[in-house]
Amino acid sequence: MDTSPALILLLILAFCEYRHGVRSPKDITQLQVGQKLELECHHDKNTGAFWIHQDKRGTLHFIVFINSASRVTFEGNQKTSTRFEAWKERTFYHLVVKSFTPHDEGKYFCVTNFNQNLYFSHGQPAFLPDTTAVAPITPAPTTQRGMTEKDSCLKTPDPDSRRQEDLDHSCLVFLWVRLASLCLLLLQLLAITIVLCRCRAHH
């Protein structure tokens, strides 16, 4: 990712305001590898929109910016992409993943700018069906309390809550980066003030 999209992501997460959502015009509950994923974001202001992908690890990736004149700019300032298509139609901003792969799993967000404020949408989850085979369960030895020794390992974390925790963690990390930048700026201003005061004292 080049410097510009990285800076854009920092600004987006610094203003985590939610005003609109992302949806798929087609049913994606049974999403398959190689399938085309179509997403759209509605925004009644003609201001342009960003599309962002959050992978299963919680990392955010800039995909494309669509401006008010329907011009698109993909990652790396490219006009086209081998993986995505994007366009604007009236008040809808469209994104298409041409051939869905496990690498594309996660949540998709669109971000719009209105009155110098960035609005981060609620995300659209897009995940492949879980095809993990379930192994036969054999009875485990019971303890004196009548419970199996593996009972404590049977519960698995809820995927939705885990993804929400990943999003919260990502937002928190970027907010700390923004705070650190502000502290560095304050230190620089303090150093400049000290130098100026010394110069005046010498004169």
* Total structural domains within the chain: 2
pTM value surpassing 0.85: no
Q: Flag whether 116 is in a domain.
A: yes
Q: Flag whether 186 is in a domain.
A: yes
Q: Flag whether 188 is in a domain.
A: yes
Which of 128, 163, 194 lies at the terminal end of a domain, its last residue? 128
Please tell me whether residues 22 and 91 are part of one structural domain.
Answer: yes
Which of 128, 159, 194 lies at the terminal end of a domain, its last residue? 128
The range of the structural domain enclosing residue 198 comes to 171-202
Q: Flag whether 152 is in a domain.
A: no
What CATH number is given to the structural domain containing 27? Answer: 2.60.40.10
pLDDT tens for each residue of the chain, 203 residues long = 444 444 454 444 444 444 567 888 888 888 999 999 999 998 877 889 999 999 999 999 999 999 989 999 999 999 999 999 999 999 899 999 999 999 999 999 999 887 777 788 888 999 999 865 455 565 555 554 544 444 444 444 455 555 556 556 555 555 555 555 556 666 666 667 676 666 666 66
Q: Flag whether 92 is in a domain.
A: yes
Residue-wise DSSP of 72-137: EEETTTBS--SSEEEEEETTEEEEEESS--GGG-EEEEEEEEETTEEEEPBPEEE-----PPPPPP
Which of 93, 128, 163 lies at the terminal end of a domain, its last residue? 128
Q: Flag whether 151 is in a domain.
A: no
Please tell me whether residues 107 and 44 are part of one structural domain.
Answer: yes
